[in-house]
Amino acid sequence: MYLNRKYIPIVVTIMLFVLMFAVGSFRYTGFFSFQVLMNLLIDNAFLFITAVGMSFVILSGGIDLSVGSVIALSTMISASLVQQHGWSPAIVIPLVLMMGACFGSVMGAIIHYFKIQPFIVTLAGMFMARGLCYVISIDTITIDHPFYTAMAQTKIPLPGGNSLSISAVIALIVVVIAIYVAHYTRFGRNVYALGGNEQSSLLMGLPVARTKILVYTLSGFCSALAGVVFTFYMLSGYGLHAVGFELDTIAAVVIGGTLLTGGVGYLLGTFFGVMIQGIIQTIISFEGTLSSWWTKIAIGLLLFIFILLQRMLSARRSAQKQS
Amino acid sequence: MSKVYKHHLFWPLCVLAALLLFNLLYSPDFFSITLHDGHLYGSLIDILNFGAPLMLVAIGMTLVVATKGIDLSVGSIVAISGAIACLTISKGADQNAFGLVTFSILLAVGLSVILGAWNGLLVSVAGIQPIIATLILMVAGRGIAQLVTDGQIITVTSSSYSYIGSGSLATLPFSIFVVALALIIALVLTRKTSLGLFIESVGCNPTASRMAGIRATVVIFSVYIFCGVCAGVAGLLLSSNVSSADGNNAGLWYELDAILAVVIGGTSLNGGRFYLAGTVIGALIIQTLTTTIYMIGVPPEITLVVKAFVVLAVCLIQSETFRSSIRYRRQKKQGSVKKEVARRVS
C-alpha cells in the first residue's frame, strides 16, 4: 500500500489511539463503551481548545508558553466580575474572549516587530497573566451564578443513553472550524508557509506580519475560550488553575504529529494527541493501583518516541534531498 | 567613562545597586549584619544563602545557553536529586552517619550526571532542538521525582546532611562556598582553557566550528552534563536547607528563573557569548527582588508581574531592532550625524 511519508506521524498517532483503546477494552470491564469516548471529550474540552490555538502557533514556527496562565486569568476575571461585581455573563464572556485575543496580539506584535524569540516573550506573558490573577485575588472565587451552573450541568443526550456536555460540543465545533481554517483558507496556507520558511514567505509577498500576529491572537483567543470552558467545568476562578498546562498542550500537539520546527502537521493529529493524553489518564484511573504521576512519565515517554520518529523521518528526507 | 558605561556588567550592577538602595531607604537596618554563635545573620546573608541554588543552576544554564541551547529540565533534576538523596538518608539506620550522607550525595550527583547526559545525547547526537529535547525530561522528570517520593514529602533528621544547605563555614553559609567553587571551576575551564572559545564558536555556528576541527557534539554533550550536575547540586542545597524533599514542588519554575538570570546577566539567547559573572549578578537581582517584595509586604505572588516586566525590558534592550528604532528616533530629534558617528567609532 502506498502511503505518503507526510502522513506517517498522523497515522501512527491514530493507530496508537486505537491500540490503547483496544488494550483498555480487553483489560478492564466497562471500558469498551461509547460513553468512555464521550468522557474523553468532556473531561478534556479545554485541552482541545488550547491545543488548537497551540497547533497554529507551532505550525507557524513559534511557541506559546502563556496558555495555562491565560486560562487561569480568564477564570479569575470571569469569577471576579460575575460574583463580586454582579456583571451579566453575557457581557463577561465576550469581554474575557476579547482580553485573551488582545493579550495574544500584543505578544505577537512584540515577537514580530522586535524580533525577540517567541519562547521568551510568551514566558513573560505567562508570568504576567499568572501575576495578574493574584492581583485580582489570592483566594479561590466560587461561582454560583445560575448561567454557569446550568452550563456545567446541562447534558446533551445522544442515542444509546450517552451524553455530551456543552463544553465538549464547543470543543468539537472549535476543532472542526480549525481544520477548515488550517486547510481550506488563505490564512491557513500562510501559516504553513510561514512555518516552512519565513524568509521565503516574505519574498513571496505573503503578509508575514499579519499572519504572525494573527496566529498569536488566535492562540490567546483559544486560551481565553478554554478558560471560559474551564470555568464551566470547575465553577471557580483561581490563580493556580491550569498550572503547567502549557506543557500538556505542547505535548498533545507533538504527539499529534506536528513538527516543532513548524510547517508540518495536521489539526486532526492534534485532536488525536489530546485523545491519547486523555486515554492515558483513563487507563490509569481504571487501573486503580497506579498513581497519577505515571501519567507524566507515560507522556514523557510518548513525547520521546514521537520526537525521535519525526527526527528520523526528517533526517531521511534531507538525506534524499542531498543525494 | 564610556568604557564603564559599555561594560557588560554595568546595567545588571546598576539594577542590583538600585534595588539595594531602595531597601536601604525603606528599612535602614537592611544592611546590618550580626554575629551569633559563629554565624553571620542579616538580610544580605539571607539573599546569598537562599539565592545559592538559583545561582548554581543559572551558572550551568549559562553554558548551555552559550551553545545556543536551553535546558528546561533543570527544575525536574533539582527535584529528583533532592528526592533521591533524602530517600537514601531516610532509609538508613543512622541518619547522621557520615558514610551514608556521602553516599547519598554521590548517588544524587551521579544521577544528575546521567540525566544531563541524557539531555546532551538527545541534543548533540540525535540532533533534536534543545527546547524539545529537554521538554521530555521536564515532563517525565517531575513524574519520576513524584515516583521517588511517592507523592509525599520525605523528611530527614540528619544534621550532617542539613549542613550543606544551612550550615556555616568560617561564619558564612556553606552553600556560598559551593556556588563559589562551581563558579571558579566554570570560570577557569572557560576562560583559562580554550573550552570557552569552543563553546562560543559552537553557539555561533556548529557546522563552521566542526569544519574548523572542533568536536561540536562533545562540547554540547559536556555542557549539558555540567548543567545537570549544577542542577543536581542545587537540588541537594535546596532539600538540605529545609531537611526535606518535595517531589511535587521542589524546583518548580526553576528553569524559568534560571533562564531569566542568564538573560539579565547579558548572555544572549542566540548563543555565541556568555558572561558567568553577569549570570551570578542576575540571580542575585532575582533573589533581592523577591526579598524586597516580601519585605514591603506586597503579596509575594505579585513578583510574577514584576518579573514579567523585567524579562520584557531586558529582552527589548537586547533586541537589535528595538535599539535601532530608538536610535533612529533620537537621531531624528537631534539631527546631529556627528554625534552618531562619534558614538559608533568609540
- Alpha-carbon span B313 to A144, nearest angstrom: 40
Q: Which residue has the higher pLDDT, A270 or A284?
A: A270
Which residue intervals of chain B are DSSP H helices? Answer: 2-6, 10-26, 43-66, 74-91, 98-120, 130-149, 159-166, 174-187, 195-204, 206-211, 216-242, 254-264, 276-295, 303-318, 320-334, 337-345
Tell me if A221 sits within 8 A of A101, measured CB to CB: yes
Contact residues on chain A for B136, CB-CB shorter than 8 A: 300, 303-304, 307
User: Which residue does chain A place closest to B255, by CA atoms?
Assistant: A123
CA distance A261 to chain B (A): 8
User: Which residue does chain B place closest to A130, by CA atoms?
Assistant: B304
Query: What confidence tens digit (pLDDT) does each residue in B68-96 have?
Result: 888 888 989 999 999 998 888 888 777 77
Contact residues on chain A for B263, CB-CB shorter than 8 A: 120
Provide the grid cell at A40. Answer: 474523553
- pLDDT (0 to 100) of residue A1: 47
Query: What confidence tens digit (pLDDT) does each residue in B163-178 have?
Result: 777 777 777 788 888 8
Whether A68 shows a pLDDT value over 80: the answer reads yes
CA-nearest of A220, A261, A272 to A68 is: A220
Q: A314 in contact with B at a CB cutoff of 8 Å?
A: no
CA distance A303 to chain B (A): 6
| Chain B interface, best mutation among A123, A137, A138, A253, by max B CB count within 10 A | A123
Please state, in angstroms and as integers, the Cα–Cα distance from residue B98 to each residue in A244, B170, B237, following that order: 38, 21, 17
| Report for A185-199, B155-169, B249-263: range of highest mean pLDDT | A185-199
- pLDDT (0 to 100) of residue A186: 92
| Chain A interface, best mutation among B248, B305, B309, B325, by max A CB count within 10 A | B305
Say yes or no for a CB contact (<8 Å) between B151 and A308: no
- Alpha-carbon span A270 to B173, nearest angstrom: 50
Residue A105 CB neighbour total at 10 angstroms: 19
Whether A102 shows a pLDDT value over 90: the answer reads yes
Rounded mean pLDDT of A275-293? Answer: 81
Please state, in angstroms and as integers, the Cα–Cα distance from residue B47 to each residue in B41, B177, B290, following that order: 11, 14, 9
Query: What confidence tens digit (pLDDT) does each residue in B188-230 have?
Result: 988 888 888 888 888 888 888 888 888 888 888 999 999 999 9
DSSP state of B152: S
Rounded mean pLDDT of B100-114? Answer: 90
User: Which residue does chain B place closest to A294, by CA atoms?
Assistant: B143
A5-33: buried (b, 16+ CB within 10 Å) or exposed (e) per residue? eeeebbebbbebbeebbeebeeebeebee
Query: What confidence tens digit (pLDDT) does each residue in B24-43 have?
Result: 887 777 777 777 766 677 77
Give the distance from CA B333 to its chain's centroid. Answer: 41
CA-nearest of B72, B315, B66 to B203 is: B66
- Alpha-carbon span A271 to A273, nearest angstrom: 5
Query: What confidence tens digit (pLDDT) does each residue in A156-177 have?
Result: 887 777 788 888 889 999 999 9
- Alpha-carbon span B227 to B112, nearest angstrom: 9
Tell me if A67 sits within 8 A of A223, measured CB to CB: yes
- pLDDT class of B184 with cuts at 50, 70, 90: very high
User: Which residue does chain B place closest to A260, by CA atoms?
Assistant: B132
DSSP-based three-state secondary structure for B35: strand
**pTM listed for this prediction:** 0.81
CA-nearest of B145, B149, B147, B161 to B243 is: B161
Q: A252 in contact with B at a CB cutoff of 8 Å?
A: no
Which residue intervals of chain A are DSSP H helices? Answer: 8-27, 34-43, 45-59, 67-79, 89-114, 118-136, 146-153, 166-184, 186-196, 198-203, 208-234, 245-255, 267-287, 293-322
- pLDDT (0 to 100) of residue B334: 59
CB proximity under 8 Å: A 136-155 to B = 138
Provide the grid cell at A290. Answer: 497506579
DSSP state string for A108-126: HHHHHHH---HHHHHHHHH
Query: What residue ranges do the domains of chain A occupy?
Result: 5-23+33-313
Q: Tell me which amino acid residue B146 is.
A: Q
Say yes or no for a CB contact (<8 Å) between B146 and A296: yes
The label of the residue with cell 480549525 reads: A178
Q: A120 in contact with B at a CB cutoff of 8 Å?
A: yes
Q: Which residue has the higher pLDDT, A278 or A316?
A: A278
- The strand pair at B153-155 and B39-41 is best described as unpaired
DSSP-based three-state secondary structure for B97: coil
Provide the grid cell at B344. Answer: 559608533
Provide the grid cell at A208. Answer: 508575514
Contact residues on chain B for A130, CB-CB shorter than 8 A: 301, 304
**CATH code 1.10.3470 for A5-23+33-313:** yes
Query: What confidence tens digit (pLDDT) does each residue in A34-46 have?
Result: 888 888 888 888 8
Provide the grid cell at B283. Answer: 540571580
Evaluate whether ipTM surpasses 0.85. Answer: no
Find the CB nearest B302 among A113, A121, A131.
Answer: A131
